[in-house]
A and B are shown apart, each in its own frame.
Chain A
Amino acid sequence: MIKVYTSSVIDASADAVWAHSRDFNGMPKWHPAIVESRIEGNWPSDRVGCIRNFQLRDGGTVREQLLTLSDYDYQCTYSILESPMGVDNYTSTLKLTPVTDGNRTFAEWSAEFDTPPGQERKLADSIGQGVFQTGFDSLKSYFGHR
């Protein structure tokens, strides 16, 4: 089991960052690696259990299922059902916490998954940096230019 943990500080209130990122179908709006997303079966995107089906910018389809959505804790947990990345048992959590000192947001994005031997480092890098940090950088730049 591999664990990846990435965290950052975003210069906006947790309410604002959550409003921008809570939509399980809204990744194309703020994550540069994701171009197109829909929710399967026409479910609402905040119904726990719904499945988002999205396209990566560099090709490939990913299906992910929403397992937890907490507007109280600013937290979202999901698992991967299908992806081209070669990961198994993948669950991931995005969580925001208010930083009272300066009214900013502490953002954490973590994942646990299995992967074939030899791929650990590469996948940990591409998920921790390529997906999570890239997402944070995009949020930082969005809120940095309010």
Chain B
Amino acid sequence: MQRVTRSAVIDAPIERVWEVLRDFNSHDRWHPAVAESHIENGEAPDRVGCVRNFRLRDGVHIREQLIALSDTEHVSTYCILDATVPLQRYVATLQLKPVTDGNRTFWHWQSTFDTPPGREAELVDMVGRGVYEAGFEALRRHLRQGGDRQPRPAAAGITRGGEMTGQAVMLKAFGGSDQLSFDNIAVPAPGPREVRIRQAAAGVNYIDVYIAKGEYRMIEPPAPLGMEAAGTVIDVGSEVHDILPGDRVAYAYGKPGAYATLRTLPADQVVPVPSGIDAETAAAILFKGMTAEYLLHRTHTLRAGETILVHAAAGGVGTFLCQWGKHLGARVIGTVGSDEKARVARDNGCDVPIVSAGYRFADAVKAATHGRGVDVVFDGLGRSAERENYESLASTGHWISYGHATGALPPLDPGLQSAKSLRVSRPVLFHYTDDPVRLRAMAANVFAMLERGVLKVTLRHRFPLSAAAAALDALESRQTTGSIVLFT
């Protein structure tokens, strides 16, 4: 009996390698020796017992049967039923194991068989070198080129000169959610510095409501909505070297259009998503998480012992500011609209939740700080809370206006500012994310905090992409807590 064993390390996560190899009929797409293959009787290629019928480039014709398949052990075992080459009683087992040190894959491929006398060396070489070793190299190339992420050539003809057809949520005219439609869009092949993404999920943010209403003139209808999404890279431009087809990525990008199944956008606005974080979580956290990141680390460098005021402390950014601010050692005071939301805020690290009506909270803030006021106000409210925020701030405090839920904050009276030596900032996320190096650092910080359990995402509200209007209504009703995502 002959035994052939070959093994290799593939520079890709095991999930990705297994996705190719578990498909018993994938070999004509990646193995150069295989010219054509089909599964007999139209059976599924992961049905144990199915038979693949294939022809090698040198004319050899082989029928092989799948006799074991394990998604937990990453094992596929198969045997030859008939072949025009004398491999007798051939049984092969292919197994993958994760290399946790570097997120790679160990691939072990072994077979036993008999041969006619005198042909041992020739057939052992054909299997070991011609099939297994050539297969390792071919699969590496296949993954590098993103071949596993492209539809089968015979699949629905969605490509046309590199252009693909996707679906997107379009804003027909400025207004409410009734102005949304779900339409086909043409998604161009990526330019030299662009990537094209198959999106799995998009995050829903207040800014989407403002944009739909025309309060932020960031689009001219008809145009697609949405600031953030996560998915998998389909293809990349010729000058993109740090992102590969098949990579899992996310973005929070200044140009709307994230409510879509496919999207092409600048590669330097895309960040990698760690393997432990799923697409919906990534889409739900990036925009709001990076907002909390720059507010706490860049606009202001929060220090332990400082007292901060967070509005909408049970909302998207508010929850993250509470969780992260508390982690950094701050005392967190938050405003919320109901007792239920006060509970949510407290669960997320808010030391003093204030249930306020009509944006009246300064007295309660003063009471909670022995009359001193807070060191930092994270102001997402704007106009209607101007006076109360001013009253809430301690001398030499920092007023950070990053959102305008009640309308734009007017310019602050210089007399008022100097009366307390206040610092005033009016930051915008996309000015921080314009720099790709800083963007990646911010995203990495957010994902690390998520993996460490400092940031927690509650995905209580999931809507199909085609139901984006209902998602925006839910957000605007202020009845939601936690994050809202659309899935494709």
Q: Which residues of A contact B (CB under 8 A)?
A: 5-9, 97-102, 104, 106, 108, 128, 133, 136
What chain B residues lie within 8 Å of A108 (beta carbons)?
97
The answer to whether residues A7 and B106 also contact, given A101-B133, A136-B101 and a CB cut-off of 8 A, is yes
The 18 listed contacts between A and B (C-beta, < 8 Å) are A6-B101, A7-B99, A8-B100, A8-B101, A8-B102, A9-B9, A9-B99, A9-B101, A99-B8, A99-B106, A100-B7, A101-B136, A106-B9, A106-B99, A106-B106, A108-B97, A133-B100, A136-B101
What chain B residues lie within 8 Å of A5 (beta carbons)?
98, 100
Query: B95-123: contact bitstring with A at CB < 8 Å (1 yes, 0 no)?
Result: 00111111010101000000000000000
What chain A residues lie within 8 Å of B6 (beta carbons)?
100-101
Query: Please, how many angstroms separate the alpha-carbon atoms of A106 and B104 in the complex?
Result: 11
Query: Please, how many angstroms separate the alpha-carbon atoms of A128 and B101 in the complex?
Result: 11
Q: Is the CB of A99 within 8 A of B7?
A: yes
Number of interface residues of B (CB under 8 A): 16
Query: Please, how many angstroms separate the alpha-carbon atoms of A101 and B136 in the complex?
Result: 9
* Nearest CB of A to B103, in Å: 11
What chain B residues lie within 8 Å of A8 (beta carbons)?
99-102
Q: Is the CB of A7 within 8 A of B7?
A: no
Taking CB atoms and an 8 Å cut-off, the chain B residues in 123-157 that contact chain A are: 133, 136
* Nearest CB of A to B130, in Å: 15
* Nearest CB of B to A123, in Å: 16
Query: Please, how many angstroms separate the alpha-carbon atoms of A6 and B104 in the complex?
Result: 12
User: Is B384 part of the binding interface, using a Cβ–Cβ cutoff of 8 Å?
Assistant: no
What chain A residues lie within 8 Å of B26 (beta carbons)?
none
User: Is B88 part of the binding interface, using a Cβ–Cβ cutoff of 8 Å?
Assistant: no
Chain A to chain B: the 3 pairs with minimum beta-carbon distance, closest first: A8-B101, A101-B8, A106-B106
* Nearest CB of B to A101, in Å: 4
Nearest B residue to A136, CB-CB: B101
Query: Please, how many angstroms separate the alpha-carbon atoms of A104 and B98 in the complex?
Result: 16
Q: Is the CB of A100 within 8 A of B8?
A: yes
User: Is B5 part of the binding interface, using a Cβ–Cβ cutoff of 8 Å?
Assistant: yes
Query: Please, how many angstroms separate the alpha-carbon atoms of A133 and B102 in the complex?
Result: 11
Query: Please, how many angstroms separate the alpha-carbon atoms of A6 and B103 in the complex?
Result: 11
Query: Please, how many angstroms separate the alpha-carbon atoms of A106 and B106 in the complex?
Result: 7
What chain B residues lie within 8 Å of A100 (beta carbons)?
5-8
Q: Is the CB of B108 within 8 A of A7?
A: no
What chain B residues lie within 8 Å of A97 (beta carbons)?
7, 106, 108
Q: Is the CB of A7 within 8 A of B97?
A: yes
What chain A residues lie within 8 Å of B99 (beta carbons)?
7-9, 106
Query: Please, how many angstroms separate the alpha-carbon atoms of A6 and B106 in the complex?
Result: 12
What chain A residues lie within 8 Å of B5 (beta carbons)?
98, 100
Q: Is the CB of B100 within 8 A of A98?
A: no
What chain A residues lie within 8 Å of B108 (beta carbons)?
97, 106
What chain B residues lie within 8 Å of A106 (beta carbons)?
7, 9, 97, 99, 106, 108
* Nearest CB of B to A64, in Å: 22
What chain A residues lie within 8 Å of B9 (beta carbons)?
9, 99, 101-102, 104, 106
* Nearest CB of A to B36, in Å: 27
Q: Is the CB of A9 within 8 A of B8?
A: no
Nearest B residue to A132, CB-CB: B100
Q: Is the CB of B98 within 8 A of A98?
A: no
The answer to whether residues A7 and B101 also contact, given A97-B108, A101-B136 and a CB cut-off of 8 A, is yes
* Nearest CB of B to A122, in Å: 12
What chain A residues lie within 8 Å of B133 (beta carbons)?
101
Query: Please, how many angstroms separate the alpha-carbon atoms of A103 and B5 in the complex?
Result: 13
Q: 15 extra interchain contacts, Cβ-Cβ under 8 A, other than A8-B101, A9-B102, A101-B136?
A: A6-B101, A7-B98, A7-B99, A7-B100, A8-B100, A8-B102, A97-B7, A97-B108, A98-B5, A98-B7, A99-B106, A106-B99, A106-B106, A106-B108, A136-B101
What chain A residues lie within 8 Å of B97 (beta carbons)?
7, 106, 108
* Nearest CB of B to A52, in Å: 25
* Nearest CB of A to B111, in Å: 13
Nearest A residue to B106, CB-CB: A106
Nearest A residue to B453, CB-CB: A121
Taking CB atoms and an 8 Å cut-off, the chain B residues in 1-48 that contact chain A are: 5-9
The answer to whether residues A9 and B104 also contact, given A101-B133, A101-B136, A106-B97 and a CB cut-off of 8 A, is yes
Taking CB atoms and an 8 Å cut-off, the chain B residues in 315-351 that contact chain A are: none
The winner among B8, B99, B101, B108 for most chain A CB atoms within 10 A is B101
The winner among B9, B97, B98, B106 for most chain A CB atoms within 10 A is B106
Q: Is the CB of B8 within 8 A of A133?
A: no
What chain B residues lie within 8 Å of A104 (beta carbons)?
9
Nearest A residue to B128, CB-CB: A100
What chain B residues lie within 8 Å of A101 (beta carbons)?
6-9, 133, 136
Nearest A residue to B109, CB-CB: A100
Query: Please, how many angstroms separate the alpha-carbon atoms of A101 and B132 in the complex?
Result: 10
* Nearest CB of B to A143, in Å: 14
What chain A residues lie within 8 Å of B104 (beta carbons)?
9
Q: Is the CB of B100 within 8 A of A6?
A: yes
Nearest B residue to A10, CB-CB: B101
What chain B residues lie within 8 Å of A7 (beta carbons)?
97-101, 106
Nearest A residue to B108, CB-CB: A97
Nearest A residue to B132, CB-CB: A100
* Nearest CB of B to A130, in Å: 14
Nearest A residue to B133, CB-CB: A101
* Nearest CB of A to B92, in Å: 15
* Nearest CB of A to B100, in Å: 5
Query: Please, how many angstroms separate the alpha-carbon atoms of A97 and B96 in the complex?
Result: 12
